[in-house]
Each structure stands twice: as structure tokens, then as C-alpha cells.
Chains A and B, each alone.
Chain A
Amino acid sequence: MRILEEGKTDYLKVDPDGYRASVRDHKPHQMVSKLMTHKEAVERFVRDGDYLAYDCNYFQRGPSSLIREIIRQRKKNLWLCGKFTYVACALLVEAGCADRIDIGFIGFGPWIARAVREKKCTIYEYSNALMTLRLKAGAMGIPFMPTRSFGGTDGFQHSGCKTVEDPFTGKPVLLLPALNPDVSIIHVHQADEFGNARVFGTGIAHAECALASKRVIVSAEEIVATDEFRRDPARTSIAHFTVDAVVHAPFGAYPGTVQGYYASDPMGVIEAMGAMFRGDFTEYLKKHVYSVASHDEYLQKVVGTEKLAEIRRRETIREGYAS
């Protein structure tokens, strides 16, 4: 294939053979219980220097409680998959956990330009769907994904993409490097102890993240019996053998929503957005991360049972979300 044009920046090394070997050697092929705490899951499966993908975001069925735990454990030098996200990238960079971002869409404000200027953070340009397509390629065990978007943009120059002459049609087509994150964190409605998981309603790329990532932590609103999955197998979104840890995290997406389970907390959402737009997360991190030792303690002491009851009550739509 003739290469017509190439992006000029770094991208996570593409290695489908290496990924296959890691699936063979490290993925739990057998049904084993993986229930553990936030603390243990993050200690065991998130490592300094990892490429981290989180699915959805801090406000919309995101693994917000796991993000807070990663910050609490002061992980370092993470490379983030910044797709469809508002504040999570900002939180992780400002907390000193992340120093590279592949950007699809992130919450901006003064923090990001400052982080780049101060060389605290290197950024690479993509789009939301380009990132989910990269994950799709990673989830298929192939080295790249062709796509018909992104050509001619300035983002292309700052990406790991290539434009080639398609050997079948002779026309230019764009190739995206496959993405196999070191670790993905995914928040779901229901999981069993083995890691079979269900997402109800729309999502971004939870299935792709689980299949494409070397290590996977699933946090779940509810832990249900495996029989629940056997009763309705078509609704299984994620299979147990892709998952390394299952964390029971009721209200794990707070201040965000989990469709059908609880609404967002607008006050909590705006508090986080405000910190981002002011470019100062000091107080936010102190209150929401460092002041407590665990997610349970956070719910009790920082959020409070009244607020939790209120957001549960405000979520009145159930159609399509009940099992």
C-alpha cells in the first residue's frame, strides 16, 4: 500500500501478536471470582505509565469512583484515552496522575493549555469516534482500522494516523492505529462476581474497551447472580474472561447519572465543571478525593444519604433499564 500522508506524533505501540499472547497468558480464562474493593483493584491492575481508557465519563455512567481511587493512590504517568469526556482528564492531569492524552473531546478551560505550556502534559489529536474506532480495531485483534473521516484536518498532523491508497478502490483512505490500552475501567449497571456485565441503554465503547484492554476493572451498581445472565444471555455486554476485577460500586458514577438507576446531581456536576473552568482543582480534590479513604466513606461523609435518595428519586424512567 502506498502511503500518501502520515501524522507526525507518537501513538501507543501497535502489537496485535503481543496482545494475543497477553490474552493467552494473563486473561482469566477460567470462571473465578474477582470481587474486590476499589483499593485492591486499582492497586493490582493500574500501574504507573499505563495507557488508561475509561468508558463514558465523570458525569455519564462513568467509573467516577475508580477515577477518584486512582487519584487517591497517586498513580503516575498515565496516558489517557480522552474520548467523550469533560472533567476526568483535567482531574487526572491536575492530580499529577496523567501526562499524555489522546484527545477526542475533553473538558477544557485554562488547565489544559497551562499543562501543555508547563510540559506537564503532551497531547495528541483525534476525534471521539476515531478513538472508539481505534478501540474497535484493538478489540478485533487487527493492527489498524480504515476510516473515511479525519482526512484534511490539522488534527491529522498531530496524530498517529496515515492516509494510504486503498488497494481495492485505488482511492485515498485513512488508517487509524489499533488501540490496546493497558487498562480499562468501565462502570456498568450489573455484574456477577466473575465479571459478566450488563450495560443498559446507550454507551460509548464499553464492549470495545473490555475486549481491547490488557487489564479490565469493572465497577458495578449491582452484583447479581450468574443465573441472571443465563436467563437473558443477549443482554450480556461484557464477558467474564475479559475482566480482571469486579468492584461493587453503588453510586459509582456520582456526580453523574446511571441511566434508569439515578439522575445526575447538578450541584455536583457544576462544582466539578467550575473547578475545571477556574483551572484550580485543589479544593475539589481535597474534598472529593483526599478527605476520605474509600468510596463508601465518600458516599456517607461527602455526598450524604439524603442526596443519594434524592438522585434515586429523581430518576423516574425505568423502561429498558430493568432486568
Chain B
Amino acid sequence: MSTPATDFNEREFVICQISRLVDDKYIYWVGGGGEPMNSVLLAKRMSAPNLQYLTEDGCVGPEARVPFDPLMTMISSPANYRALQWGTMNYAADLAQLGYVDYGILATLQVDRYGNVNSTVVGKYEGGEGRRFGGPGGADSIAALAWRTILVTDQQKRKFVDRVDFISSPGFLDGPGARERHGLPPGTGPWRVYTPWAMFGYGADCQLMIQAIAPFVTLEQVLEEMSFKPAIAPKLEILEVPTEEELMILRTQIDVGGQVTDRGRWIEFKDGKYRFATP
């Protein structure tokens, strides 16, 4: 069943990438819905049956009954089904502050060189001039307190900027030592950024470094969709495509209504290589 798939879309690709990192040896805090939630739901069915994840409402280790109604990724009986424990938000935040959360998984609007996250405003903050978004929500607690943070965003110029317009949730702020200077716990911070085209890590200078790309894009294409030039790993890896089994579970059990995976371009295997499907 671990046959490489020949047809999938960008969002399915990125969900499968993150899902494969998820391991039941660790405790995760999953931000909201979207790709992060879909990734852990997939991992639970693939590789991590005893997956322990938390959501913002203090739900510990549920065996969620999917698919969810629109927006019902928390404080609903299917999302919280067969959990080990039910708590509230301060409980989730306390667990993270205590060091129990090994990994946080977050989707975001905009990220910069140091992994700082913007989910507040694109453009100018003052006077309501910029385009306003919802705010950090639970992401600030995750980004500040989880040992490692995994970020998901789109591969677009406007989403990868030299400096975010507004730091809603902290990455490495302005470099080594900055998190500690601002009172954040030592040894925490961004670890990976995933997009449908690439995977990034961080160098010793706390700056974004491209580590792997998808088989359907070139390095040049990825760099084209960034507003700054990141460091490039000495050995650039190629990310593995989704398997038929992953896609079957994702499409038939998890994102049945296509709430998450109905956006993004399609990729096909044609003439011996993966490429964007031409409509």
C-alpha cells in the first residue's frame, strides 16, 4: 500500500509531509484546524495510533471522530471524542509552560527570516490601515512555550518576508539569545517551516534555511516565491510524494468534504516526472 501516488494536490502534499513527522513518543499541541489538525489525524491512522495531542480547549489525546462539521475542531463532541482528559484553555497553556509540549504545529499567514509569525495585520497596524486578521489566538502560547514549533504556510512571496509586518507569535525574534532576553523559556523555538513546495529548517544563526524541495518544483521556483534569499542546505533533499494509502485515508476519512484540501494546484506524474497538471 505504500505506493507513491501519481495524482494529488499541493495541500494534500504538505499534510502528508507533516503527518510523517508525527510520532507517538511525543506530545503535540495542534493549532486550530486546517493542515495542522489534518496532519495529526492522518498520523494517528498511519503511524501513531497512541498519538497524544492537545488542543487549545485543554483536550488531551482524543480519538476524534471525523469528519468534523465546519469549524468544529474544538469544544465539540466529535473533536473531543474518547479523550484521555478534558480540561480548559489555561490547562493547555500550563502544560506548554511546564515543558510537556514537545512540538507545536501551526498554520500561519506570514513568516520571516527568523521564523517570526504574523497573523495580525498585513500592512500598517496603526489606524486600521492594513488588512487585519484574527490575531495570535493560541499560536503565541505554542510558539513561545513548545520545545519545537512546526509551521505551515503557502509558498508565496507575500508570505515569506524579510521581516513580518507584525510579530504575533515569536520565532527567533532578531537572532540568537533574543527569546531568552524577552523572557521566553530557553531551548524553545521554530524548528521547521513547511510549504506545499519546500521544507525549511534553521541554521545556528537562527535564520531560515531551505533543506528540501518537492519533486514538482525547482529550487529557482521556490526562491522566486520568497521576498528574501534564505540559506540553502549543503545537500538539498527531495521530499517524498504522498502514498496511495495516505491519500485514501485523507480523502475518505478525514477531509471528506474537502474543507482543507480543496485548495491548491494539482500535481501529476507524467512522462517520468512529477509536474503541475495542465488544465
| Residues of A near any B CB (own CB < 8 A) | 56, 59-61, 82-84, 86, 103-108, 112-117, 125-130, 132-133, 136, 147-155, 158, 163, 171-174, 201-208, 257, 259-260, 263-264, 266, 269-270, 273, 315, 317, 319-321
Contacts and interface: CB of A to CB of B under 8 A. Distances in A.
Interface of B: 55-59, 65, 69-72, 74-78, 80-83, 86-90, 92-93, 97, 120, 125, 127-141, 143-145, 166-170, 173, 178-185
Given A84-B89, A115-B128, A203-B57, A152 B173 contact: yes
B183 A151 contact: yes
7 contacts: A103-B135, A113-B132, A129-B56, A132-B93, A174-B183, A201-B80, A269-B70
A5 B128 CA distance: 25
Given A128-B138, A129-B138, A317-B77, A208 B90 contact: yes
Contacts of B181: 152, 172
B178 A152 contact: yes
A148 B186 CA distance: 10
B80 A202 contact: yes
Given A269-B71, A317-B65, A147 B97 contact: yes
Given A117-B129, A317-B65, A264 B76 contact: yes
A153 to B, nearest CB: 5
B74 to A, nearest CB: 7
Contact of A320 (B57, B86, B97, B183): B86
Given A148-B183, A151-B183, A154-B167, A203 B75 contact: yes
A4 B144 CA distance: 19
B141 A127 contact: yes
Given A264-B69, A266-B69, A269-B71, A136 B170 contact: no
A128 B169 CA distance: 12
Contact of B136 (A105, A108, A112): A105
Contact of A149 (B70, B83, B97): B97
Contact of A60 (B59, B74, B133, B173): B74
B129 A127 contact: no
B144 A266 contact: no
A274 B178 CA distance: 41
Contacts of A273: 71
Contacts of B70: 264, 266, 269-270
Complex A-B, nearest 5 residue pairs according to Cβ-Cβ distance, in ascending order: A116-B128, A151-B182, A105-B137, A149-B144, A152-B182
Contacts of A59: 71-72
Nearest to A262: B77
Nearest to A102: B135
Given A84-B56, A204-B89, 12 more contacts: A105-B138, A112-B132, A116-B132, A127-B139, A128-B141, A153-B170, A154-B166, A155-B136, A202-B59, A205-B90, A206-B88, A264-B69
A314 to B, nearest CB: 8
B166 A84 contact: no
